[in-house]
Amino acid sequence: MKVDRRSFLGLGIGAVAGIAVSPVGLKLMDDSSILTQTTKLWPWALDHDPLDGEIIYENSVCSLCPGACGISVRKIDDRPIKIEGLADYPVNDGGACLHGIAGLQYLYDPARIKTPLKKNGDKFEEISWEDAIALVAGKLGDVRKSGATEKLACITDKDQGSVSGLFQRLLAAFGSPNFYTMPSLESYLEITAAAIHGEGKTIAFDLENSDFVLSFGAGVIEGWGSPVACFKANATRKERHAKLYQIEPRLSNTAANADKWIPVKPGTEADLALGLCAAILKGNMFDSMATSRITGGFNKLAAMLAKDYSAAKTAQITGVKEADIMKLAKAFAKAKMPVAVFGKGRGDGAQSLKEMAAVQTLNILVGNINKKGGVFVQNKTEYLEFPEVTKDSVAEAGTSKARLGRYVDQLIEKINASSNPAVEALLVYNANPCYSLRDTKRVKQAMAKVPFVVSFSSFLDETAMEADIILPSHTFIERLEDVPSMAGLSKTVVGLTKPVISPIFDTKDPGDAVIMIAKALDEAVAGNFEWESYEECLEAVTAGIWDSLSEDGYAVISEGVPTGSQAVNIGFLAGSPETIQAQGDFDLTLIPIDNMRLVSGAAAASPFAVKTLADTVLKGKDIVVEMNPLTAKGLKDCSKATLTTPMGSAKVLINLNEGIMPGVIGMVEGLGHTFDNKYVSNKGVNVNDLIGPVLESGSGLDAAFGIKAKITKA
């Protein structure tokens, strides 16, 4: 027998036939098809594997913005999976905004600070909590020993809530009057209330019952106030046959949704409000009962309005037609439950007291104060019962000294103007002034001039980058805190944020961090902080409402129309405060735009929220500015351009849009972050880099509604 070609052929065919008859082919084909569906082939999808386990819902309160919505967190075993709005919660009743539902992304944010950090040269190095607290207490101890205890300052987001209360207590016991909050709608409501109705008051708007909402630029469906509560109030507008008139230079989403959009030249909203007041007075359409209660300034104001704010003059200033002003005044005054709302955009940016007071005067004239569907003026929410601070002589002397500035802007100015450090140590909690205050360069400069900056941030954001030491806080998913609803909501609700997951990094509750610092200081300070933990402190200081907080998750402090009349004094307006002018000499005016999909507060928008931006806002990494074609000066839609203001310049893309008044450039606020988060940072520019503060005389507020700008082809 000879092995020849045929033998090999037989061998080959035999092998093929053997394999073919065996299950190899069928099995491999089946497995390959399954393989294509597994994460083995697509390892990036690994994190998206559905988890298997018990599904649990835990209720908490979102503290990402002052809205303070109730949330229901869906968990599988111990891991939170999704955030939804909590049904029947008195603020949002099941609703949620896109920032709230994406709240879990903050837990795993790439910029999260995982452990206390200490700056060494330009870099941060990790240190233990013990060392970090000892370091902070050591530095603060030195300041206290020096006797100049007023040189400890603190910047937080708000002055309400127990965590803010602990910071205020630390400063009081330490001996410093320098506690500051970032501008917020709540602070503007209090400032306006203080100017007209007296100190310790605040203002709320009964939007859900009003039949005529006259909004002076308030982004009612774009994040103003308590966003979800506002969405809900707006959603029922049609059923209630209520009207919304929107006054602002740009066709915002709120303006597009309103019954009428009244374009007004930027910065002349106060003049329009005063013009409307003048028309109401002239037409004898005011509520004489209400005006009789005005204790100061009414006659003077009436004379000033008659002289300077005739419909013709107002039309000239604001760009709104004379006839429209008259019609609007009539419609507002004749409405059954009218309400005029102030706070441009989200209401937390720069605002002028003149404008806010003028709008509030409109409310006063039509007699809607403390009426259903009108404006509620009532005492500031006080539900915390901190024991009185025991001060030693050093603290007494320190706290009786004058504050370095009225508001945070003046503090920054003072620090920059002093040759010796005006502030020796600065505590920053839940605030990002290096990003959200106007002219960020000056804020960073001030931070650099403070010898010792302590940040309590959860994220290595622009301000934390400037800190000397960072004591990282838990995110709102991981911590306990009382969260009062604020921001102009017609009812006051205090919610309880509860930890729904054990902290994933070596972070602490900011309340615990403050207590630890205080305890490490001398006995006079430490004696004021006898609680073992923040949890114990919270339970003690909320004793009056703790039962409902812990059982129901919230406590309603006030609801419904407040009773009793309020003092009214419009002397501030009668003094003819000057109107703010935009800084610079260029022809165009750059104004910031507040977009619901972005935020400009302490935290940056989540990756999810940034992804939802339209490419008329952010295209790739370029910010898109809105311009009217009439003043585009040859610039084409989608073309590249350079935007220049007295503060600096930036590369932008052009969006030609007839929904913005000629001569105005709109740039979204909330982009241009520079910290290490690839999903959110280095996209677009920060509008606060391009706009400088303009302080209003009298109120001291940064009231820069915009800045003069020019735009050239790039």
Output 51 or 567, the one with its CB closest to other proteins. 51
The Cα 309–Cα 272 span in angstroms is 9
Q: Least distance to other proteins from the beta carbon of 5, Å? A: 8
Q: Least distance to other proteins from the beta carbon of 35, Å? A: 5
Distance from the Cα of residue 171 to its chain's centroid? 24
Q: Least distance to other proteins from the beta carbon of 30, Å? A: 7
**Using rule CB under 8 A, residue 21 touches other proteins:** yes
Closest CA to 471 of 127, 106, 139, 122: 127
Whether the CB-CB separation of 345 and 592 falls below 8 Å is answered with: yes
Whether the CB-CB separation of 665 and 628 falls below 8 Å is answered with: no
Which of 29, 34, 289, 402: binder of other proteins (CB under 8 A)? 34
Long-range contacts of range 52-57, CB-CB < 8 Å, 24 or more positions apart?
A: 52/76, 53/77, 53/79
Q: Which residue has the tokens 């029922």?
A: 236
Which of 43, 47, 55, 148: binder of other proteins (CB under 8 A)? 55
Output 27 or 336, the one with its CB closest to other proteins. 27
The Cα 602–Cα 432 span in angstroms is 5
The piece of 19-27, 58-66, 128-136, 500-508 that touches other proteins (CB under 8 A) is: 19-27
The Cα 136–Cα 170 span in angstroms is 13
Task: Return the structure tokens found at 241.
Answer: 């046959």
Distance from the Cα of residue 452 to its chain's centroid? 26
Whether the CB-CB separation of 668 and 687 falls below 8 Å is answered with: yes
The Cα 469–Cα 460 span in angstroms is 11
**Using rule CB under 8 A, residue 1 touches other proteins:** yes
Output 56 or 331, the one with its CB closest to other proteins. 56
The piece of 16-24, 162-170, 399-407, 514-522 that touches other proteins (CB under 8 A) is: 16-24
Q: Least distance to other proteins from the beta carbon of 27, Å? A: 7
Q: Least distance to other proteins from the beta carbon of 9, Å? A: 6
Task: Return the structure tokens found at 438.
Answer: 């106007």
Which of 15, 235, 448, 638: binder of other proteins (CB under 8 A)? 15
The piece of 35-43, 107-115, 422-430, 687-695 that touches other proteins (CB under 8 A) is: 35-43
Closest CA to 243 of 219, 213, 209, 207: 213
Q: Which positions ≥6 away from 85 have C-beta within 8 Å?
A: 69, 70, 71, 72, 92, 93, 94, 95, 96, 100, 228
Output 49 or 382, the one with its CB closest to other proteins. 49
Q: Least distance to other proteins from the beta carbon of 73, Å? A: 16
- CA 621-623-629 angle, 5° bins: 140
Q: In this structure, how many other beta carbons lie within 10 angstroms of the beta carbon of residue 629? A: 15
**Using rule CB under 8 A, residue 14 touches other proteins:** yes
Whether the CB-CB separation of 577 and 697 falls below 8 Å is answered with: yes
Q: How far apart are the first and last CA of the chain?
A: 87
Which of 47, 54, 523, 585: binder of other proteins (CB under 8 A)? 54
Q: Least distance to other proteins from the beta carbon of 42, Å? A: 12
Residue type, 650: A
**Using rule CB under 8 A, residue 46 touches other proteins:** no
Q: Which residue has the tokens 């080959």?
A: 12
The piece of 25-33, 234-242, 347-355, 568-576 that touches other proteins (CB under 8 A) is: 25-33
Surface-to-core class of residue 248, CB atoms within 10 Å of its CB (0-12 exposed, 13-18 middle, 19+ buried): buried
**Using rule CB under 8 A, residue 9 touches other proteins:** yes
Q: Least distance to other proteins from the beta carbon of 22, Å? A: 3
Task: Return the structure tokens found at 229.
Answer: 């509560």
The Cα 529–Cα 543 span in angstroms is 17
Q: Least distance to other proteins from the beta carbon of 669, Å? A: 40
**Using rule CB under 8 A, residue 7 touches other proteins:** yes
Closest CA to 535 of 163, 62, 158: 163
Closest CA to 179 of 203, 194, 163, 192: 163
Q: In this structure, how many other beta carbons lie within 10 angstroms of the beta carbon of residue 57? A: 12
Closest CA to 537 of 257, 158, 165: 165
Q: Least distance to other proteins from the beta carbon of 656, Å? A: 45
Output 55 or 614, the one with its CB closest to other proteins. 55
The piece of 8-16, 266-274, 355-363, 426-434 that touches other proteins (CB under 8 A) is: 8-16
The Cα 400–Cα 175 span in angstroms is 8
Distance from the Cα of residue 426 to its chain's centroid? 21
**Using rule CB under 8 A, residue 2 touches other proteins:** yes
Q: Least distance to other proteins from the beta carbon of 46, Å? A: 11
**Using rule CB under 8 A, residue 79 touches other proteins:** no
**Using rule CB under 8 A, residue 3 touches other proteins:** yes
Radius of gyration (C-alpha) of the chain in whole angstroms: 29
**Using rule CB under 8 A, residue 6 touches other proteins:** yes
**Using rule CB under 8 A, residue 22 touches other proteins:** yes
The piece of 32-40, 113-121, 142-150, 610-618 that touches other proteins (CB under 8 A) is: 32-40
Residue type, 138: G
**Using rule CB under 8 A, residue 52 touches other proteins:** yes
Output 49 or 523, the one with its CB closest to other proteins. 49
The piece of 4-12, 247-255, 626-634, 682-690 that touches other proteins (CB under 8 A) is: 4-12
Q: Least distance to other proteins from the beta carbon of 62, Å? A: 25
The Cα 186–Cα 178 span in angstroms is 19
**Helix/strand/coil for 447:** helix
Output 9 or 235, the one with its CB closest to other proteins. 9
Which of 43, 47, 49, 238: binder of other proteins (CB under 8 A)? 49
**Using rule CB under 8 A, residue 640 touches other proteins:** no
**Using rule CB under 8 A, residue 26 touches other proteins:** yes
The piece of 11-19, 543-551, 560-568, 674-682 that touches other proteins (CB under 8 A) is: 11-19
**Using rule CB under 8 A, residue 303 touches other proteins:** no
Q: Least distance to other proteins from the beta carbon of 78, Å? A: 11
Segment 523 to 552, residues that bind other proteins, using CB under 8 A? none
* Positions in the binding site for other proteins (CB under 8 A): 1-4, 6-19, 21-24, 26-28, 30-32, 34-35, 37-40, 49-50, 52, 54-55
